Structure 1
Amino acid sequence: MLANRRAVLAGIAASPLLAATGQGTEITVFEARRIVTMESGLPEARFMAVANGMVLALAGTLDELSAWTGHRQHRVDRRFADKMLFPGLIDPHIHPMQSAVMLALPFLAPDEWHLPSGHWPGIVGQDAYRARLRKLVQEDVTDPLITWGHHELFHGPLGKAELDEIAPDRPLFVWQRSFHEIIANSAGLRRIGLGDKARFEAAMAAAKVEPGHGDYDTGVFSETALLVAIGKLQPVLLAPERMASGFAGLHQMMRERGVTTTSDMATGIFARFDTEAGLIASSFGRSDTAARVMLMPMAAELDTADDLDAWMMKARKYASDTVLLDRRVKLFADGAFFAQNMRMGPPGYADGHVGKWLTQPEDFHKQANRYWDAGFSLHIHVNGDEGLDLVLDAVAGLSRRVRQSVTLEHLGYCTEAQIQRIRDLAVMVSAQPNYIRVLGEAYGREGLGVDRASQMNRLGSLERYFVPLGLHSDFNMAPIDPFYLAWIAETREGIDGKVRAPALQLSREKALRAITIEAAQVIGMDSMIGSLAAGKKADFIALDSDPFEVEQDALKEMPIAATVFEGRV
């Protein structure tokens, strides 16, 4: 009988549940001046017990942890005794492949950037931009030369003719500030095999590019035509040395700014899903990684799969403890906000141009129904209010399902009435707050008018309607810096120093929730991360000050003393 009892106990001790709670391993108790948990029931503590990467318990005193420490080997780690501990930050929308590619490029943008590659000052004015581009052409021997950050409203018009004058003899590609557009000079078009109009138009036709998205005369590859240019440039963009350097820079930025979790909101932009998932898994699956990533396929790639269950099963070979794959899919409605390609409802654009659909409305409805009926949660790229009408009408036609969710990605401009629909349909939002900061003045001057431009990023209304909200960088649309994004959402201060529509500012609490627990919620991970609580991952950052109490300007550049991932400092 005793032998049987011992066998049973041995089996219990070896069970996955006890292994997960850290039985048999040393407990580390982290002491802090204060631990801000982002949990309403226990908002703060001073001690946190951790084992096997999991939070076991939080307490105000060491004695209150005795249920765990009284019979277990443990040590008290006091390195953060004079610090504030805060949940690991979440950027719910980064494209790791895009980040790795972009970090290898020179940044010539209207806004300032601090990157692993150095400091890139903001550039405003056509003459200043072209002078900087000429200087780069003279000094940078990279072949082909690819730059990022041009925006017509800050830098003046740019096309093939202008680039030919600046660089008549070498391939030059300029990536627009939105990422959704590339401009090539004549040498660049020749380099990628599209040097004459017949070949260019044949490539557009073969890729089924939407009318008006590609233009040989101006050298423009926009929206659906962008994928043609990316495909042609793939050997350059995905060169092994570029990838290694780019991923290293991405991990550096995430660690330095406290980001412990992200979601790749479109695995397969630069290559097929398998190629990108393999590269991301190799980077984030290392034993020394300090962050996890969720992969997410695009609907356009899944559209060709007859058996979605089989496709997902095959894709799981890339999954690990730090590379996650859930039943989620990315859909695209309208075009880029930074390029004024979003579909705007009445009265439209002031200059009369019309935005672009990334997915035609009838096709979008078909995708939404197919993937929802197949059990997928939907993440939908949408930027303009006309685009949002399409999305909300499609969502309204879906059956309610407890285990599935819909998240709107970006949501640059919407109306108050649409926010009420968002609430009524139980839709969540992952917002890009940098629109109001970079574009508020420019879009008031051209495109939208002062009234609508000032009401971009209607985040305060989302808070008043209790809509779950995450804030994301979508790097390189904004820096990978959640505290900076929270500061933008709280202040709505433009790069010109002007505050626009203060009634739409977020409260400090909502802004911080949008980079922690609600950021986790919009990607379906709030049971695992986003706050510090028993049973959750031991992801946290060490700070000198409490982000709830610092002045607004301090939140903008919040120093982070350490980033801890699953209990590993």
Structure 2
Amino acid sequence: MDVLVTDADIVTMAAGAGLARSMLVRDDRIAAIGPAERVRAAAAPGARVVGLEGAAVIPGLIDAHCHLCNVGYLASGADCSQPAAPDIPAILARLRDAAARTPEGSWVTGSGYVEYKLHEGRHPTRADLDAAVPDRPAILFHTSLHACVLNTPALREAGFGDRQPDSPGGRFGRDGEGRLDGVVHEGPTFTLLWGGLRRDMQRMSAEQRAGLVARAGQHFAALGITAACDADTRRDSLTAYAEADERGMLGVRVGGLVVHDEADWLLGSGLRGRRSPRLAAESVKIWADGGMSSRTAAIHGSYPVPPYGSGIMYFPPDELTAMVAEFDARGLQVCIHAQGDRAIETVLDAYAAVLGGRCGNPLRHRIEHGGSMFAPLAARAAPLGIVVAAQPGMLSILGDGFAEALPERSDELYAYASWRRAGIRVAGSSDAPVITADPLVGIRDAVLRRTSSGRVLGPGERLAAQNALALYTTEAAFAMHREHDIGSLEPGKLADFVILDRNPLDTEPEQITDIRVLATAVGGQPVFQASDSPLRL
């Protein structure tokens, strides 16, 4: 049946198009959009009319880099983020509560803390966690997921002892006597996260696994998100997405960025490519360095704050180049996490060596984050056609910590306006659960660039609201190779759209996060409707 959306303030994001008043949805696609009379004339007799009473419609929002499965997985643990847990005693209380509801055989988990936001200004330690959960393994993830804290039973079960050496891609915290203090940075943290996810998901039924990722998708849909790239996709999560898709439970469209060491599995699994309109896995994810909020991103120079040093690189340059060359030859889009300027330089060297004099970047290889992509690096990235998946929402949530870590260059971090002027395609994303998945936070922060303390990082890098919205629509669709289907509201494209209580382009930037999502549609079908909204799709 045709569905005629009328009396709406429709932001199409189509090139050269202004606002529309009506939109006709036929099956899963947009059949017509524009002035009310012209669109009504295109509707079939008996079309269902949905009057929006002046509410706004925008294209479905796209998160080009998140960890969707981890959002679902960690949601069952303790929320230890700030300001909800302002100090270590509050974190420990939440871990005790989580222990009471965690099944035997599973580790107690918590996530979301930022050490420099805690009243104590430090990481919790194994001794702290032992006081809350003394007799079973417990793990507390830093908000970046690039660090964690283990209690003594977890250290024991993981096989980490006081004589444990640091690995090239990881570091262990130690007390004054050289004993492990429970804090783990980088590589081993990923091993623990992935190991726990695999252990727990393999204990689930197919229905339970599908439910886990479906619930994460429902959370995203309630925020107006209709498509997302999972930048930490492994065989267990991709299998869960496929199980949800087969059951009709995958509400949002998912693009899997498969972790590089499982690329061979992907190629032999039958899951590569576009499985359905809602699930694809055509990309590979590599980590080049550590995290900005954990102060382990690989930089030139040294950090003036703990853990000091100059960050962590995961691969030597020649090995990284060889990996890019291999995946490029196999037709996979390469997406490399790089935050520090030293890491970004190495990644650009690898891309330049592989792409060489080739015309453009047809696979749209990407840099994920790119926080310290300063002007000389942006000037190298632009002619290579490198796409950047950025997270504007980090500016308000983590920006004060970024400024402490790189005080002399803080106004040059996440330089979205400069990147766009250089010709770089910049896609919006959240990196959730590192920060909130809410794209309205990212849109606001791309416009304001204001930290939680009120400081503005790089006033000259502010974006106009239209360009900020483009990050999460047209630009993110391009990053996913899906600009022909999603990202703007045009005839022939999929009917992925969001109904808002007001137009974000006409809203004061400080009030953008007050906008309410009234409904979200994927392929013309509602995947979220606010319970108190009188407007029903």
TM-score by length of 1: 0.82
Could you say which residue in structure 1 is the equivalent of 2:253?
292
Alignment match, 1:20: none
Query: What residue identity is the alignment partner of 1:460?
Result: A
| CA 243–278 in structure 1, closer or farther in 2 if over 3 Å, else same | closer
Return the match for 1:363 from 314, 319, 322: 319
Aligned to 1:213: 171
The 5 A counterparts of 1:162-561 are 162-190=128-156, 192=157, 194=159, 196=161, 209-210=167-168, 212-214=170-172, 217-230=180-193, 232-234=195-197, 237-238=200-201, 240=204, 243=209, 246-268=212-234, 273=235, 275-287=236-248, 289-302=250-263, 304=264, 311=267, 314-316=270-272, 319-326=275-282, 328-345=283-300, 347-351=301-305, 352-397=308-353, 398-399=355-356, 400-401=358-359, 403-445=362-404, 447-449=405-407, 451-561=408-518
The correspondence for 2:113, drawn from 140, 150, 168, is: 150
Report how far residue 457 of structure 1 moved: 1.5
Q: Is the 8 A contact 2:289 2:340 kept in 1?
A: yes
- Higher Rg of the two aligned structures: 1
Which residue type is aligned with residue 322 of structure 2? K
What is the letter of the counterpart of residue 417 of structure 1? P
C-alpha contact (below 8 Å) 2:32/2:491 kept by paired residues: yes
Q: Judging changes above 3 Å, is the alpha-carbon distance between structure 1 residues 325 and 165 closer, same or farther for their aligned structure 2 residues?
A: closer
C-alpha deviation, 1:196, in angstroms: 4.6
Q: CA deviation at 1:132?
A: 0.6
In structure 1, C-alpha distance between the alignment counterparts of 2:212 and 2:352, rounded to whole Å: 41
Q: What do the CA deviations read for 1:222-275 (whole angstroms, capped 9, x no partner)?
A: 32212432355346643539856643541232121111111112311xxxx2x2
Q: Cα 1:37–1:428, aligned 2, differ >3 Å: closer, same or farther?
A: same
Q: Which runs of 5+ in 2 are unaligned?
A: 174-178, 527-537
Q: Distance in 1 between matches of 2:447 and 2:348?
A: 27
Name the SS for the 2:140 alignment partner. strand
Letter of the 2:159 partner, please give it: L
Q: Are the equivalent residues in 2 in contact too, given 1:31–1:80 (CA < 8 A)?
A: yes
Asked if 1:88 corresponds to 2:60, the answer is yes
Q: 2: CA distance between counterparts of 1:185 and 1:405?
A: 42
Residue 74 of structure 1 deviates from its aligned partner by 4.5
Q: Check whether the contact 1:290–1:564 (CA below 8 A) recurs between aligned residues.
A: no
List runs of 5+ in structure 1 lacking aligned partners. 1-25, 113-120, 124-128
- Alignment-derived partner of residue 79 in structure 1: 51
- Give distance in 2, aligned partners of 1:98 and 1:183: 17
- How many pairs are equivalent? 505
Which secondary structure state, in structure 1, belongs to the residue aligned with residue 180 of structure 2?
coil
The alignment partner of 1:520 has SS state of helix
SS at match of 1:421: helix
Distance in 2 between residues matched to 1:105 and 1:255, nearest whole Å:
21
Aligned-pair identity (%): 23
Q: CA deviation at 1:109?
A: 2.0
Whether contact under 8 Å (2:92, 2:129) holds in the other structure is no
Q: Quote the Cα distance in structure 2 between the aligned partners of 1:564 and 1:290.
A: 9
TM-score (norm 2): 0.86
Provide Cα deviations, 1:491-543, integer angstroms capped at 9, x if missing partner: 11111232222111112111010011111111111111000011100011112
497-506 or 377-386: which moved more?
A: 497-506
User: Structure 1: how far apart are the matches of 2:368 and 2:131?
Assistant: 38
Q: CA RMSD in A?
A: 2.7
